Each structure stands twice: as structure tokens, then as C-alpha cells.
């Protein structure tokens, strides 16, 4: 007999009792399966059964015929611990029903093997509603299905909880792999550094002798064909308007989606011939609800972790923020799909099989807030589209943060009914988010407020200037303090707190930095200066006092002393105690950068807004390990190159990579393409002034717009020629590779620019590595 609505209703009532007092040990499943199977049948009242005990629920405990049948089946099918613990559980089950198990002592003596062999075998599938008047033995095949059903029903949630840990195992393995690779790469570089005694022998050749050939081959193959190459062709930053992940990233994403499907389906405990749990379709809905809920919760800690700026794995693996952000987006999609299917499964189960329960639960907070969380998570996907992020970043940011807070609160209310089953996945979300926000707040306080003797002695100062010829904003900020010496690759988030959207913050790559002791002029201190004052008491060492800078003259710091010189254009940083001035180049588009540009235009091309910096973030590439460095940049991507030039050449009190034993670069080639040639002259008078006079640095400029050459200041370029068109990226890399191959030199190709330039450079390096593996590729994100 197939499962019917009557059996389904019986399953509901039976398992309501089971949920109140269900097996807690696998040894109890055998007895419970027999108990559930035979309690479905109709039994004739026995002589010793009183009318008060004659209810259906008490019958398996007091009806002599039914008790004998259950005990005989237990003796036949339950052995060892299943027998002894099963009888104890039976007694407790009867006590839970408000009655007692009768006649068991007599049965233990009378029910023998011979007695069992002569009992008629019965299957509830074929028994019908006829009352049974003599003891029977449960059919073995039905018992097998029954114990399988009980096992699946009682272990379903535990199994789903354990399976959900597969999400943690997967991402833990991925991150651990990245950490191991990063450690191996770091140790390899250190090993090269140890062998750096012989200046006559190329470092790359020593490196190739240190690392065994099979390891080198495996590393080179993985790097060229998995880590460096995009998943589709050579388009990584530009393919039909989308970014294409690298092959290693693509494989990680593919395996994650595959794992997500597998974990959602395995060990379902769903059977077409299940005797207790209703129809096959009903079992599927019952199974999917909890399983997908657990899986969705398991994704949440990684989802929050990969979205944070202070993700410790960025440092541990050496991967950039964009890699983790890519994983974050796919985690979000999987989580939302899990949540939607979780909600659908419960809705169908209730409305199709128990509508009254659905409307009853709909009145509870845990049910309502589950719906709220699912809806908000679903809406976050379209509201996080690339188009919205680029055009309406502020809207995206507000929606994302507020929705995330509401979702977490809603989930806590939603799981309040279920105790602590879900909290191991949810509390880490709170911890991760709190840590990230606290770290960001501490960075803001440290870099923007400097306290001495319990008083605020210095806050961040800023100057923003706009050039209409180059259409670029130059932002100079002197923070109150810096947690460490600035270096190439640093990224800072900038805030403008006094604007009506002061919560906005956008990341920008550091272009250069300057200290007061270097005598470098900067307008960031135009409003005030600091100098050591004698006779002040309090802390040890020189004290700082701030006073307005005089208009007709400028103060120049020389060896920590203040000298007055005729005022030129800008006020000079005046004390060795002053933190460095950070410089950023920004192309104004929409949103905050456009408003900052308009503010400059209203103030005569230069303004002094209140800007706060949060950082530093990002990571530095050890370009000093390479004999030949090729930098290919476009537009304001020059910021990356100027910072690395300052780092490599050891400017502005930074030891540079040469100061710590990594500066072995013998040749640096800079190729810079811009739309407006005026930008070349502006930087040649500033950040590129020092590298221009260095014999190891070769610079070539390209203007991609003919109109951009109009009004070019040749004198500012110092005799440099600006070529028309774009930099021949492929030819540049091919030439550098050919030269390096002769001397076994190592070549670093650093690229920052538009998507087309980046993809062309990546393709050229991939092709070059097929012939010579001494070429490595480094890419900095262009824009935000």
C-alpha cells in the first residue's frame, strides 16, 4: 500500500510524540522503528487492558497482544546494545505517555526462538484496518525500511550540520593553500638574498640552481597557465563589459559551486518506500528546508570575512582585495540561492500539507524575520551590480551596510526558536564585522588625531588642487600620524566628513610621500606650522607648538631648525617631528571626485577641505628582487609607478628596497600613456623629477589624443619627447624578455591602466613565459 494522506496524518501525529521524546542514541533506533511500525495497526483489546489505558497512544505499553508482538520483533531484529538500550527506551517512552510498560518480565521468559518462529509475519502495508487478535512478527523487509526511515529522520539535522562544515573545510583549504604558496615564495626570495654574495653571477641563475628542477617546472607551469592566465582567452579586465576571473580563481569558483550543489544533495535520507515520512515529494521539502538553512549559515562567516578591509588572509596569502571580493560575490550568490530555496521548501511543505500550521507560524516573529532576511538578501544581489556600484556608489554603500545589519539581526530572531544549532555560524559574523569596524575606526583615529599630554596637538591637513589642462586632481594630505613609513603599493581611503555625505570613503593608491626633513615643499601645511619650543615642560624630548604661518615669508626646516626665507609659492614642512605628506592623483568622474573638483573650481583651482585618511592598506610588490623592471601605466595609473620609483630609489627617508637588501634592479623602464600631455609636464616637475636624472631609469611618454598635445609645455618636460599614440605594450615586453634571456636576468612587468592595456600586457607576458620563465607579471587595480 502506497503512503496515503491517512498515513501522512499519522506520521504527523506520531512524530509530534517523537519530537517530544525521540531516540537520543543510535542503539534505540531499532526498537523505535518496530514500535512505530506496529503502533500503526489496529489491535484487539487484551484482557488485562483497562478502559483508561485503551487509548491508541498507550496501547503499545499496556495491550498484551501488541506488547508481545513488539517484544518478539525486538528479540528477532535488535541485538546487543540495540536490545538492552531499546528496552530501556521503551520503558521511558511509556512513562512519557503517562503509563507503564506491563508484562515485560513474563515475556522475557516465554518469548523464545521457537515461539518467534511460529508467529505469523505481518506487514503494515498489507494489514489494512482489521484488528489483530494474536501476537505477530513484523516483516523483515518492512522493518528494514522502518529502521532506515527512523535513522534518516533522527539524524537528518545532525547530518546537515556536519555536512555544512564542508563549506568551512573548502574555504579553509583554499586559504591554507594560498598561505603555503606565499610562505614558499617568501622563503625562496629569502634564499636568493642569502646567496647574494657573488655580484658577478646573475641572481636569477643562482635562484634556478637553488630550487630543484622538478619544483621549478611545477611552479612555472602553475604560475603561467593557472595563476597568470584568464579563464577565457587573454581577457581578464575586458570581455563584453565584464571581468573574467583568472584560471586559478575560475577553478576555485567552479569547485565551490560544484561543492555547493553536492552538499545540498548528499545523504538526503529521502526514499520512495519510506513508511513514516509521507510522500516522496513531501520528504524532499522536509529535507531541503533544514539542509539549505544550515548551508546558508555556513557561508555567512566567509561572506563577511572576504568583504572586510581588515581581512587577515590578505596579509597571509598575499592575494589582493579584489581576489577576496570576487570570492565574496560568489559566496553571496550561493548563500542567496540557499536562502531562497530554504524559504520555498518550508512554504511548500506548510501550504501543501499543513496550511493551518503555516498561518499559525506566520504570526510568530521567528517566522516573519526569516522572510525579512530572505527578501533583503535577495534584493542585495541586484543592488550590488557593477553598474550601480560605478554610477551610484554611495547608494550601493548605504543599501549594503544597512541591509547587512538588518539581515544579521533578523537571522538572530529567526533562529531563536531552534536554540544554538545555528549560532556557531552566526556569532563569528558579528565578531568579524565588529573587528573590521573597530580596526577601521582605530586607523582613522591614529592617522587623523595626534594627542600629546592629553591634548589634541595635531590633526590631518589637506590641500586639493585641480588642473584643467590635465583634468586631474592632486590631493595632498598630511595626517596627524602614520602607523609606519609609507611605501609603494599603499592604498588609503579618503573621507570628507564635513560634506553632507561624510560617510563616503573611496580608495586611492599612494603616488608619493615627503617628510619635512627632506626640505620638500608641500601646500598641505599652508595654514600652520609646528616647531620645537624650548622651556616647555611635560614630556621628554622637544615639544610642539602650533601658530599661524606668516604670509610674506616661508619657514624652511633644515636639520630640525626653523629658518625664515622669502616666501615663494608654498609653505615648507618645518619640523622633523612632522609626519609625511601623502600625495594622490585622481581623475574626477562622477560622485565625490566630481564634487571635489567643483569645490576646487569655486576656490580658484585650489582648496583646503577637511579630509580624513584611513590606512594604509594594500601590499608592496618586491620589485627590487628583479634586475629589470618594466612599468607600463595609463592615465592616473602613473601613481603606482611613481611610488615604486621612490621606493626603489630610496627617496623620502624610506630605505627603499635597496636599503633592506632587495634593491638589485639594474634597469627600470617606464612607459606612460595619457590622454592629456599636460599631465606629463606636471609630474616631471614633481614626482618624476628625481628619477629623470637617474641613469638606471628610462622614461617614455605617449599621448593617446592628438588634441592632448596642444599647449604642451616642452620646458616642463625637460627635453623629453612625447610620442603620439599608445605604448606598444607587446613590443616592450618582448624586447625586455629577449634581453633578459641572454643574461638570465629576472624581469618584473608592473601594469596599471585601462582594461585594454592591462589585458594586452597580460597576454604578452603569458606568451613570453612560454619561452622564458624569468618574466613575472604584477597588476595594480586601475580605478575603483
Per-residue model confidence (pLDDT) at position 129: 81
For a pLDDT cut of 90, what percent of the chain falls above it? 48
Evaluate whether 762 touches 730 at the Cβ level (below 8 Å).
Answer: no
More confident of the two residues 286 and 50: 286
Find out whether 633 and 670 touch, Cβ atoms under 8 Å: yes
Alpha-carbon torsion angle 478, 480, 485, 488, nearest 10: -40
Report the pLDDT value the prediction gives residue 9, as an integer from 0 to 100: 37
Q: Mean pLDDT over residues 468-479, rounded?
A: 93
Q: Helices 140-194 and 64-77 meet at what angle, rounded to 10?
A: 40
* Cα–Cα distance for residue pair 426/411, rounded to 1 Å: 8
pTM, to two decimals? 0.83
Rounded to whole angstroms, the Cα distance separating 548 from 527 reads 6
Rounded Cα–Cα distance for residues 195 and 191 (Å): 7
% of residues, the chain, pLDDT over 70: 80
DSSP secondary structure of 161-194: HHHHHHHHHHHHHHHHHHHHHHHHHHHHHHHHHH
- Which run of H or E residues covers position 620? none
pLDDT for residue 234? 63
Least confident range from 457-461, 490-494, 508-512, 742-746: namely 457-461
Cβ–Cβ contacts within 10 Å for residue 539, how many? 10
Helix (H, G, I), strand (E, B) or coil at 560: coil
Among residues 698, 623, 691, which one has the least CA distance to residue 663?
A: 623
Whether 182 contacts 619, CB under 8 Å:
no
Alpha carbon separation from 574 to 558, 565, 691 (Å, rounded): 8, 12, 25
Do 183 and 316 form a contact (C-beta atoms < 8 A)?
Answer: no
Q: How many CB atoms lie within 10 A of CB 9?
A: 13
Is residue 134 classed exposed, middle or buried when 0-12, 13-18 and 19+ CB atoms within 10 A define those classes? exposed
Which among 513, 474, 481 has a CA at the least distance from the CA of 656?
513
Q: What is the pLDDT of residue 48?
A: 59
According to the model, what pLDDT value does residue 664 have?
Answer: 63
Going from the C-alpha of 564 to that of each of 354, 525, 527, 556, 654, the distances in angstroms are 88, 15, 16, 6, 27
Q: Identify the CA nearest to 589 among candidates 576, 580, 598, 578.
A: 598
Distance of CA 188 to the CA centre of its chain: 28
pLDDT (0 to 100) of residue 117: 92
- Of 762, 753, 755, the C-alpha closest to 733 is 762
How far from 320 is each of 21, 239, 312, 617, CA to CA, in Å? 52, 21, 11, 10
pLDDT tens sequence across 308-347:
999 999 989 989 898 999 999 999 999 999 999 999 999 9
Q: 208 or 609: which carries more pLDDT confidence?
A: 609
**pLDDT score, position 460:** 80
Residue 123 has what DSSP assignment? -
For residue 616, the model assigns a pLDDT of 92
Question: How would you classify the pairing of strands 553-558 and 543-548?
Answer: unpaired
Tell me what pLDDT residue 720 has.
80
Domains of the chain (ranges; CATH) run 5-138 (no CATH), 453-532+552-618 (no CATH), 623-779 (3.40.50.80)
Q: pLDDT category, 21, cuts 50, 70, 90? A: confident
- pLDDT tens sequence across 134-179: 999 999 999 999 999 999 988 998 899 999 999 999 999 999 999 9
Cell numbers 565588529 correspond to 434
CA 246, 248, 252 angle in degrees (round to 5)? 115
Q: How far apart are CA 468 and CA 141, in angstroms?
A: 86
Q: What is the torsion angle, in degrees rounded to the nearest 10, for the CA atoms of residue 4, residue 6, residue 7 and residue 13?
A: 150
Length of the chain: 784
**Whether residue 293 has pLDDT greater than 80:** yes
Per residue in 539-584, pLDDT (tens digit) is: 333 333 333 333 333 333 333 332 334 434 444 444 446 789 999 9
Phi, psi of 3 (to 5 degrees): -55, 130
Alpha-helical (H) ranges within 507-637 are: 592-602
Whole-number Å distance between alpha carbons of 196 and 620: 22
Amino acid at each position: 500500500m502506497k503512503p496515503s494522506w491517512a498515513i501522512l496524518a499519522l506520521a504527523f501525529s506520531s512524530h509530534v510524540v517523537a519530537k517530544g521524546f525521540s531516540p537520543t542514541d543510535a542503539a534505540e533506533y531499532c526498537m523505535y522503528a518496530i514500535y512505530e511500525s506496529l503502533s500503526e495497526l489496529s489491535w484487539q483489546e487484551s484482557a488485562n487492558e483497562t478502559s483508561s489505558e485503551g487509548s491508541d497512544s498507550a496501547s503499545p505499553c499496556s495491550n498484551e497482544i501488541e506488547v508481545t508482538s513488539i517484544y518478539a520483533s525486538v528479540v528477532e531484529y535488535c541485538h546487543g546494545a540495540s536490545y538492552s538500550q531499546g528496552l530501556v527506551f521503551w520503558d521511558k517512552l511509556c512513562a512519557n505517555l503517562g503509563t507503564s510498560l506491563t508484562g515485560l518480565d513474563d515475556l522475557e521468559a516465554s518469548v523464545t526462538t521457537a515461539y518467534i518462529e511460529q508467529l505469523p509475519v505481518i506487514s503494515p502495508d498489507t494489514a489494512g484496518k482489521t484488528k489483530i487478535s494474536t501476537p505477530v512478527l513484523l516483516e523483515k523487509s518492512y522493518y528494514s525500511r522502518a529502521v532506515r526511515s527512523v535513522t534518516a529522520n533522527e539524524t537528518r539535522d545532525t547530518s546537515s550540520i556536519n555536512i555544512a562544515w564542508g563549506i568551512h573545510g573548502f574555504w579553509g583549504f583554499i586559504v591554507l593553500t594560498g598561505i603555503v604558496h606565499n610562505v614558499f615564495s617568501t622563503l625562496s626570495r629569502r634564499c636568493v638574498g642569502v646567496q647574494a654574495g657573488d655580484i658577478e653571477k646573475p641572481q636569477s641563475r643562482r635562484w634556478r640552481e637553488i630550487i630543484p628542477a622538478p619544483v621549478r617546472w611545477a611552479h612555472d607551469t602553475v604560475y603561467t597557465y593557472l595563476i597568470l592566465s584568464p579563464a577565457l582567452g587573454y581577457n581578464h579586465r575586458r570581455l563584453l563589459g565584464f571581468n573574467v576571473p583568472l584560471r586559478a580563481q575560475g577553478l576555485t569558483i567552479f569547485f565551490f559551486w560544484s561543492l555547493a550543489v553536492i552538499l545540498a544533495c548528499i545523504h538526503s535520507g529521502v526514499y520512495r518506500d519510506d513508511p513514516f515520512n509521507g510522500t516522496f515529494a513531501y520528504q524532499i521539502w522536509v529535507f531541503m528546508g533544514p539542509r539549505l538553512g544550515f548551508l546558508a549559515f555556513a557561508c555567512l562567516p566567509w561572506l563577511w570575512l572576504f568583504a572586510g578591509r581588515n581581512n587577515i588572509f590578505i596579509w597571509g596569502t598575499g592575494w589582493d582585495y579584489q581576489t577576496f571580493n570576487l570570492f565574496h560575490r560568489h559566496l553571496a550568490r550561493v548563500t542567496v540561492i540557499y536562502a531562497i530555496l530554504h524559504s520555498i521548501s518550508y512554504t511548500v511543505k506548510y501550504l501543501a500539507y499543513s496550511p493551518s500550521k503555516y498561518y499559525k507560524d506566520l504570526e510568530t516573529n521567528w517566522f516573519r524575520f526569516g522572510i525579512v532576511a530572505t527578501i533583503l538578501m535577495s534584493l542585495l544581489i541586484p543592488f550590488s551590480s557593477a553598474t550601480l556600484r560605478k554610477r551610484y556608489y554611495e547608494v550601493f554603500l548605504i543599501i549594503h551596510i544597512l541591509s547587512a545589519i538588518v539581515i544579521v539581526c533578523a537571522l538572530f530572531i529567526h533562529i531563536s526558536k531552534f536554540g544554538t544549532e545555528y549560532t556557531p555560524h552566526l556569532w563569528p559574523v558579528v565578531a568579524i564585522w565588529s573587528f573590521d569596524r573597530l580596526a577601521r575606526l582605530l586607523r582613522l583615529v591614529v592617522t587623523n588625531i595626534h594627542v600629546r599630554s592629553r591634548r589634541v596637538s595635531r590633526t590631518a591637513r589637506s590641500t586639493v588642487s585641480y588642473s584643467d589642462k590635465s583634468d586631474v586632481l592632486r590631493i595632498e594630505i598630511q595626517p596627524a600620524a602614520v602607523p609606519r613609513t609609507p611605501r609603494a603599493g599603499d592604498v588609503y581611503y579618503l573621507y570628507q566628513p564635513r560634506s553632507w555625505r561624510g560617510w563616503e570613503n573611496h580608495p586611492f593608491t599612494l603616488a608619493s610621500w615627503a617628510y619635512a626633513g627632506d626640505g620638500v615643499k608641500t601646500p598641505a601645511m599652508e595654514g600652520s606650522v609646528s616647531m620645537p619650543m624650548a622651556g616647555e615642560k611635560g614630556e621628554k624630548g622637544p615639544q610642539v607648538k602650533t601658530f599661524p604661518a606668516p604670509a610674506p615669508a616661508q619657514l624652511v626646516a633644515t636639520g630640525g631648525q626653523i629658518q625664515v626665507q622669502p616666501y615663494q609659492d608654498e609653505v615648507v614642512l618645518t619640523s622633523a617631528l612632522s609626519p609625511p605628506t601623502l600625495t594622490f592623483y585622481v581623475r574626477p568622474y562622477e560622485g565625490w571626485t566630481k564634487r571635489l573638483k567643483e569645490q576646487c573650481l569655486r576656490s580658484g583651482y585650489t582648496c583646503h577641505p577637511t579630509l580624513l585618511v584611513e590606512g594604509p592598506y594594500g601590499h608592496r610588490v618586491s620589485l627590487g628582487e628583479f634586475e629589470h623592471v618594466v612599468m607600463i601605466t595609463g592615465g592616473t595609473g602613473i601613481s603606482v609607478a611613481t611610488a615604486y620609483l621612490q621606493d626603489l630609489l630610496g627617496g623620502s627617508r624610506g630605505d627603499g628596497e635597496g636599503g633592506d637588501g632587495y634593491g638589485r634592479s639594474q634597469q627600470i623602464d617606464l612607459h606612460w600613456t595619457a590622454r592629456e600631455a599636460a599631465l606629463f609636464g606636471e609630474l616631471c616637475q614633481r614626482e618624476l623629477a628625481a628619477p629623470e636624472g637617474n641613469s638606471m631609469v628610462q622614461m617614455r611618454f605617449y599621448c593617446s589624443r592628438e588634441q592632448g598635445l596642444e599647449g604642451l609645455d616642452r620646458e616642463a618636460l625637460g627635453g623629453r619627447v612625447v610620442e603620439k599614440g599608445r605604448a606598444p605594450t607587446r613590443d616592450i615586453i618582448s624586447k625586455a624578455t629577449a634581453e633578459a634571456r641572454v643574461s638570465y636576468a629576472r624581469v618584473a612587468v608592473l601594469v596599471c591602466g585601462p582594461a585594454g592595456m592591462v589585458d594586452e600586457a597580460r597576454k604578452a607576458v603569458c606568451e613570453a613565459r612560454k619561452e622564458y620563465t624569468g618574466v613575472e607579471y604584477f597588476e595594480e587595480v586601475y580605478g575603483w
